[in-house]
């Protein structure tokens, strides 16, 4: 069966001509209200411009006509996207009286993905607004199309064509090149983030099997990234599980196709206790899930419960495994392709097509059941993990019930070591989480008793990322934190019960302090995530050193700051002379600069010794450094700087 999601050249030419372009509406309001079309005029909206142009190339790949896309960020913040697809049609549209290329570039929602002709059956760009919005919000845009035996070019300024389409040189190549410079009058910043683009393009390459995507940054950083995954979403799951311990040898993968569309699924369990399931529709990340994800989850739970009953993993008196039990440690990617996706939800990232649920459910249930029967050893590992998760869930439920009963009896469950504040309004209350009782004592002495509470934690708390919920709830330090905050966790979480609207992690400015802070953040993220989303969680940044001179104090965050000050103090009134060379003299700024460079040299030498042994440093010193004459101070400084 042909892979619809693959980036392969079509064996036969399908039609994609001027008559396939359908106009939905004009472009008048884009520059007036850009946020309506790209979300914002901040960094998110800026990056969205790149995604819109990239999506056009990916649509060509999904249709089987594009194998490579290159995205280049230029030093002036302009961006070029080049693909080897069929090229945007350039013939004149009878209804519009102008070239299809100009219509695509100047009319909102004009493109081969909106009609019923031979343009695109599947499109990720439909979720967006089209390349015309990129044109409207760019100071300048240049497009080159290679098709019909020639290169065709046209330029635009803020959405308006600067002239008619020009017929260029003859060429047998096909494809489209678009270069655009975002308009500084529209966007708050023109600084594109390489990492953000890299992550998006890696994800796109995983979802478009065989498509090569190259990202080049010509700015000062000079980064380059290249992605191509013949394994598609199987490679995606391997990437997601890269630093985890899989309990299966291979990634389970299967696919299905019907009149509803097509679906690909790849999944693998690992030894962790967290679920990592990602769903996509036409390459769009459906963050809010939808019908395809519901179908997957239902089939997964049903198939594993059926197998568990048949193979006696569950006895007759045992309850069925819950969805959270079978998904513990699961990494999965569900990629649906359909002709007419319906997106719902607050951010339009939830697939609403009702037929996809039963379709995906039937495919996953049948194929997963086959896998379980054909791979008894791996199935046993998966079911054992799910049963253990169910037992832990039951133990956690008992622990929560016990806590509730204890609360009702004692009427107060606040931990004894909590130094609470007196204010009753949670919006005014602050909770400082500190290291140990000694730090707690100092913080209690310095706090405002009316609004500031102090909770000392003893040692490094439990790593909840590697622990089941029953162990989490059984840990005294974790329980103290959960109780002090007051919201409960997971299904019992209620942000309205938060006793503080500012929770501050106040740990030492050393490695241990950073570790404790990370563990506390992990607990809050995994068990009480809405607190972070609501902006209730803060990190205090204590200084590394306090420098005292008389009655004045100065606080320093970094080791380098202290070295700079100490060197400055010690060298301020020092003068160095060479008895043999009366012209040689080091004072003030030159002496500080020379000392600083020598410290850099010392660091570089230490790094070389660590990597290559002492011999390499000795050789470099003898071969190069000792050639310099100490009387030539500026020359030595330049040499150290140049050859470090």
Distance CA 641, CA 462 (A): 47
| 508 catalytically annotated | yes
Q: Which residues contact 195 (CB under 8 A, 6 or more apart)?
A: none
Distance CA 28, CA 207 (A): 34
| Exposed/middle/buried for residue 321 (C-beta within 10 Å: 0-12, 13-18, 19+) | buried
Continuous H helices in 411-510? 436-446, 469-474, 476-485
Cβ–Cβ < 8 Å for 263, 353: no
Q: Is 541 left (phi over 0), alpha (psi -120 to 50) or beta?
A: beta
Residue 411, SS3 per DSSP: coil
| Strand runs labelled E in 22-174 | 68-73, 79-83, 92-93, 98-99, 138-147, 150-157, 160-161, 166-170
Which of these is catalytic: 4, 435, 470, 527?
435
Which of 188, 140, 182 is CA-nearest to residue 49? 182
| Exposed/middle/buried for residue 454 (C-beta within 10 Å: 0-12, 13-18, 19+) | buried
Q: Which two tokens stand for residue 248?
A: 């299966």
Distance CA 265, CA 11 (A): 26
Which of these is catalytic: 373, 494, 512, 632?
512
Cβ–Cβ < 8 Å for 228, 249: no
| 510 catalytically annotated | yes
Q: Which two tokens stand for residue 128?
A: 């967006």
Which of 63, 158, 163 is CA-nearest to residue 111? 63
| 512 catalytically annotated | yes
| 116 catalytically annotated | no
Q: Any idea which residue has 């049963």 for tokens? A: 387
Distance CA 31, CA 108 (A): 12
Continuous H helices in 161-227? 194-207
| Exposed/middle/buried for residue 450 (C-beta within 10 Å: 0-12, 13-18, 19+) | exposed
* DSSP codes, 259-310: TTEEEEEEEEEBSSS--EEEEEETTEE-TT-BHHHHHHHHHHHHHHHHHHHH
Which of 286, 298, 294 is CA-nearest to residue 344? 286
Q: Pairing state of beta strands 138-147 and 92-93?
A: unpaired
593 half-sphere exposure, CB direction, 13 A CA radius: 13
Which of these is catalytic: 148, 465, 508, 561?
508
Q: Which helix (H) or strand (E) element contains residue 215?
A: strand 212-217
Distance CA 42, CA 186 (A): 9
Which of these is catalytic: 401, 510, 563, 602?
510
Distance CA 156, CA 365 (A): 52
Which of 233, 232, 268 is CA-nearest to residue 248? 268
Which positions are annotated as active-site residues? 435, 508, 510, 512
């Amino acid at each position: 069966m042909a892979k619809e999601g693959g980036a392969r050249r079509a064996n036969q030419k399908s039609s994609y001509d001027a008559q396939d372009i359908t106009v939905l509406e004009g472009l008048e309001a884009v520059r007036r209200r850009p946020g309506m079309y790209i979300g914002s005029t901040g960094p998110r909206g800026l990056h969205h411009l790149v995604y819109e142009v990239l999506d056009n190339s990916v649509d060509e790949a999904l249709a089987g006509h594009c194998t490579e896309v290159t995205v280049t960020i230029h030093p002036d913040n302009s961006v070029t996207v080049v693909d080897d697809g069929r090229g945007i049609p350039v013939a004149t549209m009878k209804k519009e009286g102008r070239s299809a290329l100009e219509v695509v570039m100047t009319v909102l929602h004009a493109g081969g993905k909106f009609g019923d002709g031979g343009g695109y059956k599947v499109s990720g760009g439909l979720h967006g607004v089209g390349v015309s919005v990129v044109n409207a919000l760019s100071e300048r845009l240049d497009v080159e199309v290679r098709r019909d035996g020639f290169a065709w070019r046209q330029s635009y300024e803020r959405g308006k064509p600067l002239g008619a389409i020009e017929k260029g040189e003859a060429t047998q190549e096909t494809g489209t090149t678009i270069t655009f410079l975002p308009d500084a009058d529209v966007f708050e910043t023109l600084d594109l983030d390489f990492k953000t683009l890299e992550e998006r393009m890696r994800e796109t390459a995983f979802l478009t099997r065989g498509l090569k995507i190259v990202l080049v940054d010509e700015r000062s950083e000079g980064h380059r990234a290249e992605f191509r995954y013949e394994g598609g979403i199987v490679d995606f799951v391997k990437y997601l599980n890269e630093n985890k311990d899989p309990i299966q040898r291979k990634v389970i993968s299967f696919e299905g196709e019907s009149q509803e569309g097509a679906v690909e699924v790849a999944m693998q369990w690992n030894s962790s206790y967290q679920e990592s399931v990602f769903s996509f529709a036409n390459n769009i990340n459906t963050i809010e899930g939808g019908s395809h994800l519901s179908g997957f989850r239902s089939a997964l739970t049903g198939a594993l419960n059926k197998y568990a009953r048949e193979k006696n993993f569950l006895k007759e008196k045992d309850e069925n495994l819950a969805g959270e039990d079978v998904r513990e440690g699961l990494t999965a990617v569900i990629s649906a392709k359909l002709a007419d996706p319906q997106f719902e939800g607050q951010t339009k990232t939830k697939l609403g097509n009702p037929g996809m649920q039963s379709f995906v459910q039937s495919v996953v249930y049948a194929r997963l059941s086959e896998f379980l029967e054909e791979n008894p050893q791996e199935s046993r590992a998966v079911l054992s993990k799910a049963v253990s998760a169910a037992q832990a869930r039951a133990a956690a439920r008992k622990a929560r019930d016990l806590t509730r009963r204890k609360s009702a009896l004692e009427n107060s469950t606040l931990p004894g070591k909590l130094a609470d504040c007196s204010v009753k309004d949670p919006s005014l209350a602050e909770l400082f989480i500190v290291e140990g009782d000694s730090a707690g004592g100092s913080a209690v002495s310095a706090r405002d008793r009316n609004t500031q509470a102090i909770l000392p934690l003893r040692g490094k708390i439990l790593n909840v990322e590697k622990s089941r919920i029953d162990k989490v709830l059984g840990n005294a330090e974790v329980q103290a934190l959960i109780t002090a905050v007051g919201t409960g966790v997971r299904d019992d979480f209620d942000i309205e019960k938060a006793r503080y609207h500012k929770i501050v992690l106040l740990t030492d400015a050393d490695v241990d302090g950073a570790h404790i802070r990370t563990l506390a953040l992990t607990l809050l993220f995994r068990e009480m995530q809405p607190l972070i989303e609501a902006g209730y969680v803060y990190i205090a940044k204590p200084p590394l050193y306090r420098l005292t001179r008389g009655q004045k104090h100065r606080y320093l965050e970094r080791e380098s700051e202290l070295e700079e000050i100490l060197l400055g103090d010690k060298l301020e009134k020092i003068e160095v002379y060479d008895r043999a060379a009366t012209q040689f003299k080091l004072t003030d700024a030159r002496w500080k600069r020379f000392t600083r460079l020598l410290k850099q040299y010392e660091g570089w030498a230490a790094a070389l010794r660590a990597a290559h042994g002492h011999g390499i440093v000795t050789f470099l010193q003898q071969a190069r450094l000792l050639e310099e004459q100490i009387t030539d101070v500026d020359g030595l400084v330049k040499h150290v700087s140049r050859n470090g």
